[in-house]
């Protein structure tokens, strides 16, 4: 038994440590196998540096044709699983071909790396950043070790942030005017607004505000659109009459949102919508969907109410 | 169907309670282990049971109360959480993550309560946020209960004057604003209920709404409890805002209830100072609102307030408002109008008893409203009018006051005949009860005008329906009324008599027999009063002399001739004759007798009546002392003549022996004619004999000896009076005669006669002994 296990055991242990690993913020990342691990968090233009140590197992020597570390930004489409598209690829050679007898440490540094896209785990697409350490060997196959990390990019508050105000309705049946205080929200923001009923001739049962995420992958005829409802928030219970004004206050923090991604390397986009839904007593739904832009605000203490 | 519905409801309620309890159980566990996340989760689930639409208000309340109890525990937990360092602001956000709005808002109110207590934010901001956020519940029932919860948890946290929540930023204004807004929203929800659901269940819905009204009214109560709501604020803010909502909601049930609520919860002093504002709202209410009851209750409160010593000057305002309400409610039934005025009248009587002008004004307004209409025939309305007209009588206990009200009779004009009569009865009863003296002819005239429903036929058709008993009773009341009219001044009294006469002569044949006698007696009373007075006094006044009165009296009695009621007229003539006798007016007395005799001869044909009348004549004539010998002879002669001509022999006999009294008057020496007394008695004996013989002839047996015994008694009477013609022998003969008649072969047994004779004989024996004892001659 030991023999068999030994045969599949890698010949050496590779570990990656980041130079500011202890102080750097760690975030949860869901892996392919469903497990959640804590990984360091970076943003674009940061320098990613650290050490990579290679330690042969129990005194065996490791023969190799060179050791390198790559920083990869990859997009994986689920309909094309396992096939990664690298939009970023940087390489650092760590060692010339030779033999390693004992634990050996190699420093590495990728300075001011351009990482324009955020890590994303969607329905049909995944964007990930990874450090890939490769010990090339001829006959025995290379030894590869991956170290994931997460990238999030922060935006300043937008200089222009108009409210969304709109009058909609069905003639002689329902006329409402709604207003959301902004068109651009950060991820922990609060949506404040109101719905004003100008005309009500239907028997409304209730009214919800939904947050919907529209993930679009591929292009042309291969476009896949997936829409998820991330939040269903009841705004009103019962039938209003003309002249009623119903307040909206929706805290975004409980929901798992990402910033809006307009176009990620021509591969996919993620957009957010507010969907106002009125349901009548016959369970007919009347709705109006409005796109909102999500952005990630710097990690400063945020105001709540 | 309905039974099923009730059963289903029970089922839904118990399912709701079960769900609530289960989640409450998990909530408690979370509370015990300080698990905030679970506490929020389970409390939200627990509150989700309140989202049901299947329960009636009654059952929903039951569910709500259970949730309410649980929320108290949760509130305590929130408070502990904050003392353990959890930020109240965070907590306030956290509960708002709940996806369903109803649980979310219940939780928000609960945390809000803790938030205010923490004083980390101004109370007014939290209150405003809560009351605004509650708009999300537009379902009437759920909304009402949620807002009622908000009202409940915030009651002790309002920034009232003197409250710990009052501060620079928080003023009582904010408290008032908050309650007013909650009230407005609740009322809107409440009003809206009526439009929801199928039309056929409207009645049921109205009932259910009625059950919920106190939830809405509670807000007004809260307002009234706020210390800072002083008169100024009430006047400027609270009342106008509340009234605005009341008027604008255009809902009958709500308007009626809320108006009443305003009147009941706020102090009298406030009402008095804001009367115009309050009253101005009344005409703006829906036409179907029972404004009259609302106003009646307001006036009731104000008059009680006045009774407690406060000065209440509200008549003009109330009067004005009532006028406007009537104007605004175009189709208000006349009964409603009258009811309104009746309440105002009650108010005025209580608050301004001295202001007869106000009362007349009210009556005048009634007249104005009634004018141009048919006579009232609406039962409700007439009932109200009677109440309206009775009120001043009851208050003043004096018809005099009512007679001063110029509009009083004008209102009565609009009553139909039946009601007019009813009212007239009320007036008379009032006079009787209070023994009111009506002492001038003018007033009498007014009074009789007022009660003309009883005095004459107002409506010919009505007569048929009238119950004879009722009619008699009414006319007897009138008779009693006539008796009560009195003035100490003979001159005035005479005028009164004239006035009454004028009125009663319009009464027709049915009434005269009732109304004439009291007037005659009243007149004769006056005659006797004049007679009793000093000659000089009555002499000075030429217009009121006994003679003059006798003239009227004669005319009045003559008016009976058309009916005819000769017996009554005859009796009255005899009464007059007696009065004339007392006044020493021989010719007048003679004239009255003549009239009586004429009636006897010409009109009285019934033999029974004749007997009665002849005895009346004899009785009266016997007492007359005014006549000279000639006149007296003429009259007694006639009387004995009539007596002898009666149809039945026993009647003849009795009348004849009665005539004997005409010739012997104790108190007058002039009239002591023993011969003629004896003649009469003998004649009576002859007739009695004839009766006896007739009995023998027709029935073959002796007749009753009663007549003889009666004559014997007359003998005894005159013997004792000292009529010398009546001797002991003649008495003894008569006794013998009676005995032999009684013992005769054909004599029938007659115990009554036996007893009568025995008594008579015992009397003789007694008298004999008495005389023997006193030692006189037998």
Measure the CA–CA gap between B591 and B575, rounded to whole angstroms.
12
Nearest Cα residue in chain B from A255: B97
Residues B144, B216 contacting (CB under 8 angstroms) = yes
Measure the CA–CA gap between B448 and B450, rounded to whole angstroms.
5
Q: Does A281 touch chain B (CB under 8 A)?
A: no
Chain B residues in contact with A253 (beta carbon < 8 A): 97
B2-6 contact pairs (CB < 8 A, 24+): none
pLDDT one-digit tens code per residue, A236-293: 999 999 999 999 999 999 999 999 999 999 999 999 999 999 999 999 999 999 999 9
Burial of residue B346 (number of CB atoms within 10 Å: 0-12, 13-18, 19+): buried
pLDDT one-digit tens code per residue, B166-194: 887 778 999 999 999 999 999 999 999 88
- CA A144, distance to chain mean position in Å, is 25
B395, B416, B410: which is closest to B365 by C-alpha? B410
Residues B481, B428 contacting (CB under 8 angstroms) = yes
Query: Which position has the higher pLDDT, A305 or B273?
Result: B273
Cis link prior to B248 (omega < 30° from 0)?
Answer: no
Q: Is a pLDDT exceeding 70 seen at residue A102?
A: yes
The reported pLDDT for the residue numbered A5 is 46
Q: Is a pLDDT exceeding 60 seen at residue B414?
A: yes
pLDDT one-digit tens code per residue, B464-513: 566 788 888 888 888 988 888 888 888 888 888 888 888 888 888 888 88
Closest CB from B99, B135, B138 relative to A233: B99
Range B642-673 burial, b when 16+ CB lie within 10 A, else e: bbbebeebbbbbbbbbbbbbbbbbeeeeebeb
Measure the CA–CA gap between B479 and B109, rounded to whole angstroms.
77
Mean pLDDT over A58-68 rounds to 86
Measure the CA–CA gap between B141 and B14, rounded to whole angstroms.
19
pLDDT one-digit tens code per residue, B526-557: 888 887 765 544 445 556 788 888 888 888 88
B113 to each of A88, B91, B96, B143, B225, how far by Cα in Å? 55, 12, 15, 18, 19
The reported pLDDT for the residue numbered B703 is 66
Mean pLDDT over A57-75 rounds to 89
Q: Is a pLDDT exceeding 90 seen at residue A138?
A: no
Q: Distance (Å) from the C-alpha of residue B29 to the closest C-alpha of chain A?
A: 24
Does the beta-carbon distance from B97 to A304 stay under 8 Å? Answer: no
Measure the CA–CA gap between B601 and B611, rounded to whole angstroms.
13
Does the beta-carbon distance from A238 to B140 stay under 8 Å? Answer: yes
Dihedral in degrees, nearest 10, Cα atoms B576, B577, B580, B586 = 150
B756 to each of B224, B711, B735, B751, B768, how far by Cα in Å? 90, 12, 12, 8, 18
Residues A86, A74 contacting (CB under 8 angstroms) = yes
Count CB neighbours of B11 within 10 A.
Answer: 11
B243, B340, B236: which is closest to B284 by C-alpha? B243
Chain A residues in contact with B191 (beta carbon < 8 A): none
Closest CB from B96, B101, B132 relative to A236: B101
Chain A residues in contact with B135 (beta carbon < 8 A): 244-247
Which is it for the CA torsion A233, A238, A241, A243, positive or negative?
Answer: negative
Measure the CA–CA gap between B285 and B251, rounded to whole angstroms.
8
B450, B348, B454, B325: which is closest to B399 by C-alpha? B450
Please give, one letter per residue, the 3-state secondary structure of chain A: CHHHHHHHCCCEEEEEEECCCCCCCEEEEECCCCCEEEEEEECCCCCEEEEEEEEEHHHCCEEECCEEEEEEEEEEEHHHCCCEEEEEEEEEEEECCEEECCCEEEEEEECCCCCCCCCEECCCEEEEEEEEEEECCCCCCCEEEEEEEEECCCECCCCCCCCEEEEEEECCCEEEEEEECCCEEECCCEEEEEEEEEEECCCEEEEEEEEEEEEEECCHHHCEEEEEEEEEEEEEECCCCCCCEEEEEEECCCCCCCCCEEEECCCEEEEEEEEEEEEECCCCEEEEEEEEEEECECCCCCCCC
Best of A188, A232, A238, A252 to substitute, by most chain B Cβ atoms within 10 angstroms, is A238
Does the beta-carbon distance from B135 to A235 stay under 8 Å? Answer: no
Residues B324, B283 contacting (CB under 8 angstroms) = yes
Residues B137, B106 contacting (CB under 8 angstroms) = no
Residues B327, B283 contacting (CB under 8 angstroms) = yes
Dihedral in degrees, nearest 10, Cα atoms B271, B275, B278, B279 = 140
Least confident of B32-36, B256-260, B291-295, B420-424: B420-424
Q: Identify the H or E element spanning B149.
A: helix B140-154
Q: pLDDT band for B388, please (50, 70, 90 cuts).
A: confident
The reported pLDDT for the residue numbered B692 is 84
DSSP states of B261-322 as a string?
A: HHHHHS-HHHHHHTHHHHHHHGGGS-TTS-HHHHHHHHHHHHHHHHHTT-----HHHHHHHH
Looking at the DSSP bridge assignments, the partners of residue A105 are A53
B640, B520, B519: which is closest to B580 by C-alpha? B520
DSSP letter at B374 equals: P
pLDDT one-digit tens code per residue, B32-48: 999 999 999 999 999 99
Does the beta-carbon distance from B101 to A235 stay under 8 Å? Answer: yes
The reported pLDDT for the residue numbered B474 is 85
Which is it for the CA torsion A31, A36, A39, A41, positive or negative?
Answer: positive
pTM score:
0.75
Count CB neighbours of B544 within 10 A.
Answer: 20
Does the beta-carbon distance from B135 to A245 stay under 8 Å? Answer: yes
Closest CB from B136, B192, B196 relative to A236: B136
Measure the CA–CA gap between B319 and B369, rounded to whole angstroms.
14
Out of B44-58, B188-202, B570-584, give the one with best mean pLDDT. Answer: B44-58
B646, B649, B571: which is closest to B613 by C-alpha? B571
> Which residues neighbour B767 within 8 Å (Cβ) at sequence distance 6 or greater?
B716, B720
Mean pLDDT over B336-352 rounds to 86
Looking at the DSSP bridge assignments, the partners of residue B415 are B376
Q: Computed over its alpha carbons, how large is the radius of gyration of chain A?
A: 26
The reported pLDDT for the residue numbered A1 is 40
Count CB neighbours of B466 within 10 A.
Answer: 15
B644, B643, B582, B641: which is closest to B616 by C-alpha? B643
DSSP states of B643-696 as a string?
A: HHT-SSHHHHHHHHHHHGGGGB-TT-TT-B-HHHHHHHHHHHHHHHHHHHHHHH
**Structure ipTM:** 0.89
Count CB neighbours of A127 within 10 A.
Answer: 23
Q: Identify the H or E element spanning B34.
A: none
B45, B1, B6, B8: which is closest to B25 by C-alpha? B45
Query: Which position has the higher pLDDT, B586 or B329?
Result: B586
3-state SS assignment for residue B376: strand
Interface of B to A at Cβ within 8 Å reads 51, 89-90, 92-93, 96-97, 99-102, 104, 132-133, 135-140, 142-143, 188, 192, 196
Residue B55 exposure: Cα atoms within 13 Å on the Cβ side = 23
B513, B511, B612, B618: which is closest to B568 by C-alpha? B513
Strands A36-42, A143-151: pairing kind: parallel
Does the beta-carbon distance from A237 to B192 stay under 8 Å? Answer: no
Least confident of B138-142, B539-543, B590-594: B539-543
The reported pLDDT for the residue numbered B240 is 95
B453 to each of A151, B106, B426, B468, B519, how far by Cα in Å? 106, 69, 12, 16, 19
Q: Is a pLDDT exceeding 50 seen at residue A6?
A: no
Least confident of A200-209, A296-305, B16-25, B736-745: A296-305
The reported pLDDT for the residue numbered A124 is 92
Residues B131, B186 contacting (CB under 8 angstroms) = no
Best of A196, A231, A234 to substitute, by most chain B Cβ atoms within 10 angstroms, is A234
B77, B163, B150: which is closest to B108 by C-alpha? B150
Does the beta-carbon distance from B101 to A238 stay under 8 Å? Answer: no
Measure the CA–CA gap between A267 and A86, rounded to whole angstroms.
11
Does the beta-carbon distance from A251 to B90 stay under 8 Å? Answer: no
Which residues between 216 and 235 in chain A have a beta carbon less than 8 angstroms from any beta carbon of chain B? 231-235
Measure the CA–CA gap between B475 and B467, rounded to whole angstroms.
12
Q: Does A303 touch chain B (CB under 8 A)?
A: no
DSSP letter at B97 equals: G
């Amino acid at each position: 038994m030991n023999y068999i296990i030994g045969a599949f055991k890698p010949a050496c242990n590779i570990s990656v440590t980041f130079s500011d690993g202890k102080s750097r913020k760690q975030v949860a990342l869901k892996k392919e196998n469903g497990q959640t691990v804590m990984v360091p968090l970076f943003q674009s233009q940061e320098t990613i540096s650290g050490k990579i140590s290679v330690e042969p197992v129990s005194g065996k020597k490791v023969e190799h044709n060179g050791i390198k570390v790559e920083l990869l930004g990859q997009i994986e489409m689920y309909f094309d699983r396992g096939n990664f598209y690298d939009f970023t690829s940087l390489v650092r050679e760590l060692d010339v071909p030779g033999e390693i007898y004992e634990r050996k440490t190699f420093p590495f540094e990728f300075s001011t790396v351009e990482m324009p896209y955020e890590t994303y785990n969607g329905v049909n697409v995944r964007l990930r950043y990874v450090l890939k350490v490769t010990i090339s060997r001829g006959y025995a196959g290379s030894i590869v070790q991956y170290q994931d990390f997460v990238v999030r990019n922060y935006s300043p508050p937008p200089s222009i942030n108009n409210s969304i105000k709109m009058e909609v309705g069905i003639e002689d049946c329902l006329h409402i005017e709604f207003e959301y205080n902004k068109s651009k929200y950060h991820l922990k923001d609060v949506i404040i607004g109101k719905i004003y009923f100008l005309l009500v001739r239907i028997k409304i049962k209730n009214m919800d505000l939904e947050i919907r995420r529209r993930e679009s992958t591929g292009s042309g005829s291969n476009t896949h659109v997936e829409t998820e409802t991330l939040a269903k928030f009841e705004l009103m219970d019962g039938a209003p009459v003309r002249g009623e004004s119903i307040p909206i206050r929706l805290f975004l923090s409980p929901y798992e949102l990402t910033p809006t991604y307009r176009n990620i390397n021509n591969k996919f986009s993620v957009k957010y919508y507010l969907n106002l839904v009125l349901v009548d007593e016959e369970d007919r739904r009347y709705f109006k969907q409005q796109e909102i832009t999500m952005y990630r605000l710097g990690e400063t203490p945020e105001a709540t109410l | 169907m309905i039974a099923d519905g009730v059963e289903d409801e029970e089922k839904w309620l118990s399912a709701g309670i079960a769900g609530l309890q289960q989640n409450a159980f998990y909530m408690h566990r979370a509370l015990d282990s300080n698990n905030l996340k679970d506490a929020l989760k389970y409390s939200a689930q627990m509150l989700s049971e309140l989202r049901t639409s299947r329960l009636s208000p009654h059952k929903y309340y039951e569910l709500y109360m259970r949730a309410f109890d649980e929320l108290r525990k949760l509130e305590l937990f929130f408070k502990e959480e904050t003392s353990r360092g959890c930020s109240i602001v965070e907590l306030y956000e956290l509960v708002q993550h709940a996806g369903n709005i109803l649980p979310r808002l219940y939780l928000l109110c609960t945390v809000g309560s803790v938030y205010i207590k923490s004083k980390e934010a101004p109370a007014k901001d939290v209150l405003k946020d809560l009351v605004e956020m509650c708009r999300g519940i537009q379902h009437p029932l759920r909304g009402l209960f949620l807002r009622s919860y908000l009202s409940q948890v915030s009651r002790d946290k309002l920034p009232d004057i003197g409250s710990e929540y009052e501060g620079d930023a928080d003023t009582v204004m904010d408290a008032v604003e908050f309650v007013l807004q909650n009230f407005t929203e609740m009322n809107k929800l409440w009003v809206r209920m009526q439009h929801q659901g199928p039309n056929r269940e409207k009645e049921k819905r109205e009932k259910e709404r009625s059950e919920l009204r106190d939830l809405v009214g509670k807000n007004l109560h809260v307002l009234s409890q706020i210390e800072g709501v002083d008169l100024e604020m009430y006047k400027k803010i609270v009342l106008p805002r509340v009234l605005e909502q009341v008027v604008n909601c255009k809902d009958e049930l709500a308007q009626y209830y809320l108006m009443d609520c305003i009147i009941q919860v706020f102090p009298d002093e406030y009402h008095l100072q804001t009367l115009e504002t309050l009253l101005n709202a009344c005409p703006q209410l829906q036409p179907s609102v029972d404004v009259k009851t609302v106003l009646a209750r307001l006036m009731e409160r104000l008059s009680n307030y006045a009774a407690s010593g406060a000065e209440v000057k509200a008549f003009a305002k109330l009067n004005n408002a009532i006028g406007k309400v009537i104007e605004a409610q175009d189709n208000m039934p006349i009964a409603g109008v009258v009811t309104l005025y009746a309440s105002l009248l009650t108010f005025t009587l209580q608050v301004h008893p001295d202001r007869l002008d106000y009362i007349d004004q009210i009556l005048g307004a009634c007249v104005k409203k009634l004018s141009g209409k048919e006579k009232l025939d609406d039962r409700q309305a007439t009932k109200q009018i009677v109440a309206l007209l009775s009120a001043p009588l009851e208050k003043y206990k004096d018809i005099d006051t009512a007679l001063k009200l110029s509009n009083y009779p004008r209102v009565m004009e609009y009553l139909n005949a039946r009601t007019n009569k009813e009212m007239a009865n009320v007036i008379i009863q009032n006079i009787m009860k209070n023994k009111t003296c009506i002492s001038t002819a003018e007033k009498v005239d007014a009074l009789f005008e007022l009660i003309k429903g009883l005095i004459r036929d107002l409506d010919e058709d009505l007569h048929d329906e009238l119950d004879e008993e009722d009619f008699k009773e009414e006319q007897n009341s009138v008779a009693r009324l006539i008796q009560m009219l009195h003035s100490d001044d003979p001159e005035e009294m005479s005028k009164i008599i004239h006035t009454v006469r004028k009125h009663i002569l319009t009464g027709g044949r049915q009434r005269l027999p009732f109304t004439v006698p009291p007037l005659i007696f009243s007149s004769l009373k006056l005659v006797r009063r004049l007679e009793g007075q000093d000659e000089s006094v009555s002499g000075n006044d030429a217009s009121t002399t006994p003679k003059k009165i006798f003239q009227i009296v004669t005319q009045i009695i003559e008016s009976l001739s058309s009916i005819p009621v000769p017996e009554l007229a005859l009796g009255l003539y005899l009464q007059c004759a007696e009065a004339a006798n007392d006044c020493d007016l021989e010719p007048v007395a003679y004239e009255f007798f003549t009239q009586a005799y004429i009636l006897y001869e010409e009109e009285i044909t019934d033999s029974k009546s004749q007997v009665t009348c002849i005895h009346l004549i004899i009785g009266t004539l016997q007492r007359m002392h005014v006549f000279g010998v000639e006149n007296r002879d003429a009259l007694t002669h006639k009387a004995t003549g009539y007596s002898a001509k009666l149809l039945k022999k026993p009647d003849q006999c009795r009348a004849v022996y009665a005539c004997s009294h005409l010739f012997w008057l104790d108190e007058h020496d002039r009239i002591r004619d023993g011969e003629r007394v004896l003649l009469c008695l003998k004649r009576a004996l002859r007739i009695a004999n004839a009766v006896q013989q007739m009995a023998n002839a027709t029935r073959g047996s002796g007749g009753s000896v009663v007549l003889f015994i009666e004559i014997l008694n007359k003998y005894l009477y005159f013997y004792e009076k000292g009529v010398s013609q009546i001797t002991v022998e003649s008495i003894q003969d008569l006794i013998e005669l009676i005995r032999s008649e009684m013992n005769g072969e054909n004599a029938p047994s007659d115990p009554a006669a036996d007893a009568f004779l025995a008594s008579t004989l015992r009397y003789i024996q007694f008298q004999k002994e008495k005389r023997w004892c006193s030692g006189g001659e037998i």
